[in-house]
Amino acid sequence: MIDTIKLMLDKSMFYITDKNRFIKDRQEALRGYFKLVQNPAPSELKRGIYKPRLTVTNRFTGPNVSQKTISIEFSIPKLMFGNNFDELIGNEFPQIIEKLNALLLEMGVKVRPSCLTNAPVSLIHYSKNIALTDYITPYTYLEQLSKLNINQNLDTDRTSFRNEGHSFKYRANSFEVAFYDKLKDLRQGKKSEKRAEEKDNALQLNLLDLITPKKPFEVLRMEIRLNTRQKIRNLLKTVNNEVEPTFINLFNQSISQKVLLHFIAEVENALPPLLTYQPNSPKKLFNGLLIANPNIKLNKLLAIYALKTLLNDIGIRGFRQLTKRYGNTAWYGLNKEMKELKVADEPSVFNLLRKAITTFTPLRLLDFQGNMTNNDKYD
């Protein structure tokens, strides 16, 4: 459903009861500007204590007129469960407000529950954890995704996939789409937080001690990170849910599903089915294409075979860079031919993602006790 969210409150919605809990991050006295921050300490996270990240900002917008705001950024599942493996059911909103309000009081910030409930949202991360219990690893799906034909105006980061095989993401200034191996990300976080996708990963590193698999158990995670209020508004319009982006309005399973499915469709449209077809030998590839497309001409079949082989090696973006002298028109023609081509049915990352999000069954580690050792630690 929702992982991370950032709430923005103006000065009429909060009161600082203990400024000493904040540290000065930046100050420009002549301009009347200052920024104070309070983040969870690494030592607290290691002891299982989770707190939101707070930033108080003061700006003078005119003579003797200041605008003070506080941003409250936190992971909802980490707030409720101490980890973001376990997912929300959808009816926890009152408990979330109660727990968040109590934590803020401990951190020296007083906020009315109604202000938290109706707080404007400036950042939100939608996510889904998908358990893999069929001997297929996240790497298999991430390898398919690495061949995406993402708009070249976006910054597509494949470095982590090539080096570690644990994540694939693409991003623009206002949003990011990430797919990654959740268990491997925890192992990366144990080495260094900078190497992991997650913030505040120290909170849940002990989960690795609990999930030593004795049966197949992997977790593929999808995240949609909307980083501006305008992007949130635009996407709500796109998925036909034009509501005011407040905390209570966005804590909505239907909106979460629509956002995730929207990006799955966008990503799937960028990946011709031919690229997911991975027979284990050149002969099977050629025969498979011939059987699925009995009327195809030999010269076209050979051309598609060569294209498929090259794309397997360097991916779509690499291919487009290599052939840019021929212009975009040539690529669009090839892409159209690939999409029209029939291929044998193969397990697809998109079938898996769409099924998981359509059913939207929350993942809970307790449900997979039979797949894990050391289960007594859950009792």
Domain co-membership, 68 together with 213: yes
Tell me, yes or no, whether 217 lies in a domain.
yes
Per-residue pLDDT tens, the chain, 379 aa: give them: 899 999 999 999 999 999 999 998 776 655 667 889 999 988 888 888 899 999 999 887 666 677 889 999 999 999 999 888 889 988 999 999 999 999 999 999 999 999 999 999 999 999 999 888 777 788 888 877 776 666 655 555 444 454 456 888 888 888 999 898 888 877 776 665 666 677 666 676 666 565 555 566 788 999 999 999 999 999 999 999 889 999 999 999 999 999 999 998 888 777 777 777 777 788 888 888 888 888 989 998 898 888 888 888 887 778 888 888 988 888 888 888 887 888 766 556 788 888 889 988 888 877 766 555 443 333 3
Q: How far is Cα 246 from Cα 257, in angstroms, rounded to an integer?
A: 17
* Max CA pair span of the chain: 78
Tell me, yes or no, whether 356 lies in a domain.
no
Number of domains in the chain: 2
pTM of the model: 0.81
Domain co-membership, 253 together with 305: no
Q: How far is Cα 28 from Cα 372, in angstroms, rounded to an integer?
A: 54
Q: What single-letter amino acid sits at 10? A: D
Domain co-membership, 67 together with 197: yes
Closest CA to 125 of 289, 33, 284, 6: 6
Domain co-membership, 262 together with 287: no
Domain co-membership, 256 together with 307: no
| Burial of 256 (C-beta count, 10 Å sphere; 0-12/13-18/19+) | buried
Q: Are 145 and 222 in contact (CB under 8 A)?
A: no
65-75 sheet: strands from edge to edge = 23-28, 33-38, 53-62, 65-75, 2-10, 121-132, 218-226, 175-181, 167-171, 155-157
Q: What single-letter amino acid sits at 112? A: R
Structure tokens, 147: 């061949």
Using the 8-state DSSP alphabet, how is residue 294 labeled?
T
Tell me, yes or no, whether 351 lies in a domain.
no
Q: How far is Cα 198 from Cα 166, in angstroms, rounded to an integer?
A: 13
Residue 82 makes CB contacts below 8 A (sequence gap 6+) with 48, 50, 203, 204
Q: How far is Cα 76 from Cα 146, in angstroms, rounded to an integer?
A: 29
| Helices 229-238 + 253-269 axis angle, to 10 | 80
Q: What single-letter amino acid sits at 164? A: E
Q: How far is Cα 301 from Cα 129, in angstroms, rounded to an integer?
A: 39
Domain co-membership, 247 together with 323: no
Q: How far is Cα 182 from Cα 205, in angstroms, rounded to an integer?
A: 11
Domain co-membership, 194 together with 246: yes
Tell me, yes or no, whether 38 lies in a domain.
yes
Tell me, yes or no, whether 209 lies in a domain.
yes
Domain co-membership, 151 together with 8: yes
**At which of 222, 244, 269 does a domain end?**
269
Domain co-membership, 235 together with 330: no
Tell me, yes or no, whether 377 lies in a domain.
no
In the chain, beta strands by DSSP E: 2-10, 14-16, 23-28, 33-38, 53-62, 65-75, 109-111, 121-132, 155-157, 167-171, 175-181, 218-226
Tell me, yes or no, whether 93 lies in a domain.
yes
Tell me, yes or no, whether 236 lies in a domain.
yes
Q: What is the DSSP string of 334-359?
A: HHHHHHHS-------HHHHHHHHHHH
Residue with tokens 């999808």: 222
Domain co-membership, 320 together with 186: no
Give whole-number Cα distances, 296 to 92, 293, 312, 330, 334, in Å: 56, 6, 21, 20, 15
Q: Are 221 and 182 in contact (CB under 8 A)?
A: yes
Domain co-membership, 77 together with 173: yes
Q: Which residues constitute the domain of residue 15?
A: 2-269
Domain co-membership, 109 together with 227: yes
At residue 94, the pLDDT reads: 96
Give whole-number Cα distances, 63 to 58, 348, 365, in Å: 14, 60, 55
